[in-house]
């Protein structure tokens, strides 16, 4: 399974927390990143594509869908982690609340609540449900377009060879790709993180260094 972060949006440029559906469109650079994925994935088997309800995920997948003549299946569970009371903010202090909460989840405190939104348990339940649906569909090679924080948090917890130290140090850029092997029953292993083999991280495991 390939997990891809959407291309650049205006809120990414402004470093603004934006998690609401449908969200902004891609920037010109983001659309180019989406087109570049066609060449980056040339020769890679893809039997099915899944996106979240955010417009930026479908726009990222669109050039590949056209070239491969594939439909996109939309799953609400693949949406970004809801920002709650931190939604729309750009100030570093409020943005840090969002990232620190997610870091706490990856460190094991799934009961912590995002201010004004859900807990880690809520997020992992809905993302797990989406992945279960994807696996149940039975396609050999799958591409999933989601959002940066959602991918990093979910992979950081579910991949057996990753931890908070790794995801805290490895921000996934726009159109970045994470390669996973396995399934929900036997477990997941991360093979590559945006083209690089996975190596151990060395960050503070308390959750304080999770960042965008």
Q: Domain locations in the chain?
A: 22-197
Scanning 109-194, the segments in alpha helix (DSSP H) are 120-136, 148-158, 164-169
The pLDDT assigned to 142 comes to 98
Distance CA 151, CA 59 (A): 18
Cα 100 to its chain centre, rounded Å, is 17
Segment among 107-111, 187-191, 194-198 with least mean pLDDT? 194-198
Band of residue 54 on the pLDDT scale cut at 50, 70, 90: very high
pLDDT at 180 over 80: yes
Name the least confident of 46-55, 119-128, 130-139, 168-177: 168-177
Confidence at residue 207, expressed as pLDDT on a 0 to 100 scale: 42
Q: Whole-prediction pTM value?
A: 0.92
* Residue 12 in this model has a pLDDT that exceeds 90: yes
The DSSP bridge partners found for residue 74 are 51
Whole-number average pLDDT of the chain = 93
Q: Which is it for strands 177-183 and 187-193: parallel, antiparallel or unpaired?
A: antiparallel
Cis peptide before 22 (omega within 30 of 0): yes
Please list, in sequence order, all residues whose beta carbon lies within 8 angstroms of the beta carbon of residue 190, skipping any fewer than 6 positions away.
155, 159, 161, 162, 178, 179, 180, 198
Pick the CATH number of 22-197 from 3.40.50.1240, 3.30.499.10, 1.20.1050.10, 3.40.640.10: 3.40.50.1240
pLDDT of residue 152: 95
């Amino acid at each position: 399974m390939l997990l891809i972060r959407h291309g650049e949006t205006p809120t990414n440029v402004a470093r603004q927390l934006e998690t609401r559906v449908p969200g902004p469109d891609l920037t010109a650079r983001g659309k180019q990143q989406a087109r570049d994925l066609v060449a980056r994935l040339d020769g890679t088997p893809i039997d099915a594509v899944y996106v979240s309800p955010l417009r930026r995920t479908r726009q990222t997948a669109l050039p590949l869908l056209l070239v491969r003549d594939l439909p996109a299946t939309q799953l609400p569970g693949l949406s970004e982690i809801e920002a709650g009371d931190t939604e729309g903010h750009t100030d570093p202090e409020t943005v840090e609340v969002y990232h620190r909460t997610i870091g706490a989840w990856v460190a094991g405190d799934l009961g912590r609540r995002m201010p004004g939104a859900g807990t880690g348990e809520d997020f992992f339940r809905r993302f797990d449900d989406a992945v279960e649906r994807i696996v149940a569909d039975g396609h050999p090679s799958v591409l999933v377009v989601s959002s940066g924080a959602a991918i990093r948090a979910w992979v950081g917890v579910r991949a057996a060879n990753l931890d908070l130290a790794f995801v805290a140090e490895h921000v996934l850029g726009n159109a970045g790709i994470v390669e996973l092997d396995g399934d929900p029953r036997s477990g997941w292993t991360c093979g590559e993180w945006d083209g690089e083999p996975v190596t151990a991280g060395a960050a503070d495991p308390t959750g304080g260094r999770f960042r965008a």
